[in-house]
Amino acid sequence: MTSTVSDGFSIGVLADRTGLTPTLLRTWENRFGFPAGTRSSSGHRRFTDADVDLVRQVQELRAGGVALGAAVDAVRRRRQRPRESVHAVLARDFPQLVVQRLGRRPLVAASYAVEDEALARAERPVVLGTFQAGDRFADQRRRWDELARTAAWSAVIADFDDSLPADPSATPARCQLAEGSPLRREWTVVTVSDSRAALVSAWEVPGAAHAAPVYESVVSTHRPAAVAAARVLVEAARVAGAEPPAHVGQLLDEPGPESTAVDADRLWLRALTHVDRG
């Protein structure tokens, strides 16, 4: 009898699809109860596409230097609550990333650097961003129209209004932020391509009414972190009605290479140039 999707598949198939061995997966199961899968009526352990995704998430965290037990725990926590905040996911799963409190000017410079590098490389990356309010995106719309034109897929998530309404079918997809979402206080730019990745992630720290805004920020070319941020935003875009093409999920599922020191240098020099120009 032919197996259906509901039947699942064996640990051997799970191993083939994740690049691991059945022996290693059984070791993980014995030590951590992961991947759990389900028991068929005949008593055999069966797995699904969801298990493939979970194992790949553990692999990404391991590639970023996270211990196996901690990686398994992190992936389990992701299943228990919605991933609605880029910065919270980075703080939870990538504690080694340096966090700085920055003003608006250096964050704009870092964001422009990430965007400019995506345009210059012409590698058709996935380009994603969050703007706290729709009018802030409107000020940058010309740049993002060009980013979207040259990207494999692009989406912007913000609190849009009547002057520029949300439109998840537009290019870039304009996705409405849900009421109460932590993303309403976040500022994010993420690019992921086959060969490199970068991100700017920040949340606005509450301050005095007339004080200049200050943002707790992460700026990084660490690929697993950029991919984790991209997944949060793709999920938020889907909730808002956008339909990312299949190759977006495939790109985020592939391990991919880490950015080189040369790539990082190019990015930071671009950022310094924008800071210097004010």
Task: Return the pLDDT at 235.
Answer: 87
Q: With both helix axes pointing from N to C terminus, report the angle between 11-18 and 49-63 in degrees, rounded to the nearest 10.
A: 40
Question: How do beta strands 38-39 and 153-158 pair?
Answer: unpaired
Q: What is the pTM of this model?
A: 0.70
The more confidently predicted of residues 39 and 111 is 111
Distance CA 110, CA 218 (A): 10
Burial string for 179-190 (b: 16+ CB within 10 Å, else e) reads: eebebbbbbbbb
> Which residue ranges form the domains of the chain, and what is each CATH number?
5-80 (1.10.1660.10), 86-277 (3.30.870)
Highest mean pLDDT among 59-63, 65-69, 84-88, 170-174: 170-174
The more confidently predicted of residues 226 and 253 is 226
pLDDT > 60? residue 94 = yes
The more confidently predicted of residues 37 and 15 is 15
pLDDT grade for 77, boundaries at 50, 70 and 90: low
pLDDT grade for 109, boundaries at 50, 70 and 90: very high
pLDDT > 60? residue 102 = yes
User: Between vectors from CA 249 to CA 44 and to CA 261, what angle results, nearest 5°?
Assistant: 115
pLDDT > 60? residue 151 = yes
pLDDT > 80? residue 27 = yes
Average pLDDT over residues 213-219: 93
Which of 46-50, 160-164, 253-257 has the least mean pLDDT? 253-257
Question: How do beta strands 173-176 and 100-103 pair?
Answer: unpaired
Could you tell me if 172 and 146 are in contact, meaning their C-beta atoms sit under 8 angstroms apart?
no
pLDDT > 50? residue 1 = no
**What's at 215, amino acid-wise?**
Y
Highest mean pLDDT among 25-29, 49-53, 71-75, 210-214: 25-29
